[in-house]
Structure 1
Amino acid sequence: MQIEIGRGKRARQAYALDDIAVVPTRRTRDPEDVSLSWQIDAFTFDAPVIGAPMDSVMSPDTAIALGRMGGMGVLNLEGLWTRYEDPSPLLEEIAHLESANYSPENTRRLQEIYSAPVQAELITERLAQIREAGVVVAGALTPQHTQQFYKTVLAAGVDMFVIRGTTVSAEHVSETQEPLDLKKFIYELDVPVIVGGAAGYTPALHLMRTGAAGVLVGFGGGASSTTRRALGIRVPMATAISDIAEARRDYMDESGGRYVHVIADGGLGTSGDIIKALAMGADAVMLGAALARAEEAPGRGWHWGGEAAHPEMPRGDRTYVGTVGSMQEVMWGPGHHTNGASNLMGALKRAMATTGYTDVKDFQKVEVLVAPDSRSHRA
């Protein structure tokens, strides 16, 4: 149903996760009976959590730690870990920049730090470190640099390849350079590919047709992204997930049963957000700020994405998210916070048990209500 904004423009009503509430059912379960496992391609995980490829969240060490806790960490292959042999002093410096948001000085310094070239040998070294730990090896490139570095990534033995950008299109058009042909590229690879972001039914359906194993929903960045302010682009997350879950269903019919995983990416700062994202139809979530609060996170309580250091059009902030406990406490507890910042998986188990579901796939069928929050301003 469309709403008339003015005589010349009509639009759909869209909802953020804060506008949605999950409804309990007549049947409840014991949380111990709930399974959070999910599978993408040949890989099975104990938790439907992917660590966002952001330098404030994922280092080789935190990717390994998350993998051992049942999730999958994705290393940013265009980040500090592949630009510098030892990025620790720079991470320390970023953590001690001016505390205010919207600081041109902070942005300028980030741009300087990220102007160092990506080194192919460091991509190989970092991925080898993760592989040696015996967890699933996943790395991310932006569409702009995929052609340049993907052979290095594959030679390093990556298990899962992620192509992540603010908006990724299956039909990018350029008059100045040869665009990445996603369908041809994915077809020629021997590893599963997760691609995004996408925020609508049609763009997601086209990405599914490229052969992607998973589609990221959203523009990424979440708490640290200023895409809405800088570009005026935003699709509230609850609506975006629901639309793309419908594209998944239609693509299954079109393809004769091929299932593409829907992964919510951005604006998932609390356990409640994670729960509602899965309720709207996501198979898993990609977490940035929620994991940046772990004591082991490279950002030391600060959170930023690659968009914050774009050389020409920065659209992200270095945001303070604080520290709430170890990665173990953030993921599996015990929790010591009442605001949904710790024991994320324990909260998900309890929500599923309260609504009578014992696996994530079935939980996508849970009843939800529209309960608009006047304070809601997130995607």
Structure 2
Amino acid sequence: MGFKDKLARAEQLFGFDTVYLVPGRAEVEPNEVDIRTRFSRNVPLLVPVVSSPMDTVTEHELAIVLALHGALGVIHRNMPVEQQVEEVRKVKEHPPIRLRIAYLRPSDSCAYALEIMRQLGVRSLPVVDGTTVSGYVYFSELEKECHSGHERVRDSTKPGKTYSVKSVNEARLDVVRGVTDAAAIVLSNGNYVGTLLVSDALEELTPLLDNEGRLRVAAAISPFDKERALKLDKHVDALVSDVAHFHNSNVIKAARNLVKEITSDFVAGNIGTYNAAIDVVSEIERIDGLRVGIAGGSICTTAFVGGAYAPTLWAVASVRDALKEMGADDTPVIADGGIRSSGDAVKALAAGASSVMLGYVFAGTDEAAAPLIAMGEKLYKPYRGMASKGAMSRRFAADRYTRLVKRAAEGVEGLVAYKGPAAKVLKEFIEGIKAGLGYAGARNIAELWEKAVFGIAPRKYTIGEINE
């Protein structure tokens, strides 16, 4: 085949901004849609959302919030292995209820303590000295004692009950009954975990739990880093390959050896083509899920730097077709890259994905693993691709992104607007997914695969672009 023929026969790489779902007849209302699915072969999801293992996105804070709401966090690996294990442990040790880091220190002033309690709307708060709870302060007593010459919280701290992680249900009952309105939760070693407030005790949650009643969590690894994988394997529900181009003979060989030694689910990726799915599934003994999409991320520049591109929507459809042909259609597919809205997520699910991986959507939330930055009157959080110069400089991912392997950066760094609590962002996103399934006439994700009809339309402007 000549070069001109190759160009003439070029396949159209469909992206999220080129196709839309054609509305179908709805049999159920959006609030009746069932969006339960699987992340990997043995890890279920109550909602089809997982977070991207990016070092400005997913650490234990975000993973906890997601698991409490039926989703899953994938802890990034751009850190020492001991730190990553600790991040996973924090998720597993967290009780399946929302807690807040709401406490006072002995050195805090009375005036500061009263202001914090007013803001939270509570009559008491625990006092944490180092990592342990030394007691509680009470608004009514503190207010009097502040006027009598006591200047610090330590002068007004009284003994109070703490609750272990295992007795969190007792704490919830005490808070609901009014015995206390701020219950300090501690680990078996006495270390403070968080505070259960009245508003959180009343919140109805359906968390994603493992067989032992703990929150589920996954962690990113390299197939070449067996030591990291084996240390994490004891604690996680799934190990997620974090390789930019998994369809590589050396990577496949390393993964083939690794899966023989781990017990948790193994998710391979990233891949982006039909042939990649065929090779990976046929050459590796156990594949529990596939992470799909290459160069589709909102801050990924691989398509510009290297000219390679397998947009997530097209890649998901290609991989799903390959799995179906191989009789491996029960292998979950995670759509990863460029999903900026719930509408994009619905399209990815309709193209054959089991769940969607989000980075940009959760960047900028309170729980995203990046500091809050004020610029003028607006708040932002840093957000960067894992192939950016900043991420590569941390040098904990030498086989994938650092200059030891890649001299050219394939990601950019920037700021995203502050978005508030991740729980609020997730809930709105899920409502959008349910609405999308409703428009497609699907009761669940499996039915969406069968009923979805795609149409090509001129590119629509986004809300952000219209506002600009």
* Higher radius of gyration, 1 or 2: 2
Give the 3 Å change call, closer, same or farther, for CA 12–76 of structure 1 in structure 2.
same
1:30 aligned residue: 29
1:44 aligned residue: 44
**Aligned partners of 1:159 and 1:243: how far apart in 2?**
27
1:250 aligned residue: 325
The answer to whether residue 337 in structure 2 is matched with residue 266 in structure 1 is yes
The answer to whether residue 287 in structure 2 is matched with residue 212 in structure 1 is yes
1:150 counterpart SS class: helix
Q: Deviations over 1:324-369 (max 9, x none)?
A: 332121111xxxxxxxxxx111001011112221111111221111
**Aligned partners of 2:93 and 2:296: how far apart in 1?**
29
- The answer to whether the 8 A contact 1:197-1:220 is kept is no
2:216 aligned residue: 136
1:286 aligned residue: 357
1:364 counterpart SS class: helix
**RMSD across aligned C-alpha pairs, in angstroms?**
2.4
**Aligned partners of 2:45 and 2:25: how far apart in 1?**
30
Taking CA–CA contacts closer than 8 Å with sequence separation of 6 or more, which of the two structures ends up with the larger relative contact order?
A: 1
Give the C-alpha shift of residue 54 in structure 1: 0.6
**Aligned partners of 2:329 and 2:349: how far apart in 1?**
20
1:97 aligned residue: none
Give the 3 Å change call, closer, same or farther, for CA 41–235 of structure 1 in structure 2.
closer
- The answer to whether the 8 A contact 2:16-2:347 is kept is yes
Give the C-alpha shift of residue 5 in structure 1: 7.8
Q: Deviations over 1:225-252 (max 9, x none)?
A: 1111111111232221111110121122
**Aligned partners of 2:49 and 2:74: how far apart in 1?**
11
- The answer to whether the 8 A contact 1:281-1:364 is kept is yes
The answer to whether residue 411 in structure 2 is matched with residue 316 in structure 1 is yes
State the TM-score, normalized to the length of structure 2: 0.63
Give the C-alpha shift of residue 184 in structure 1: 3.1
1:161 aligned residue: 239
Q: Deviations over 1:165-220 (max 9, x none)?
A: 111126227xxxxx843223223321111111111001112222322111111126
Q: Deviations over 1:154-175 (max 9, x none)?
A: 24x22110012111126227xx
**Aligned partners of 2:307 and 2:294: how far apart in 1?**
12
- The answer to whether the 8 A contact 1:22-1:276 is kept is yes
1:246 counterpart SS class: helix
Number of aligned positions between the proteins: 314
Aligned partner of 2:229 among 150, 161, 173: 150
Aligned AA for 2:313? A
**Aligned partners of 1:190 and 1:161: how far apart in 2?**
10
Give the 3 Å change call, closer, same or farther, for CA 263–375 of structure 1 in structure 2.
same
Q: Structure 1 stretches of 5 or more lacking a match?
A: 83-117, 174-178, 333-342
Aligned partner of 1:122 among 65, 83, 106: 83
2:115 aligned residue: none
Give the C-alpha shift of residue 266 in structure 1: 0.5
1:277 aligned residue: 348
- The answer to whether the 8 A contact 1:50-1:287 is kept is yes
1:304 aligned residue: 384
Aligned AA for 2:72? M
Give the C-alpha shift of residue 28 in structure 1: 4.4
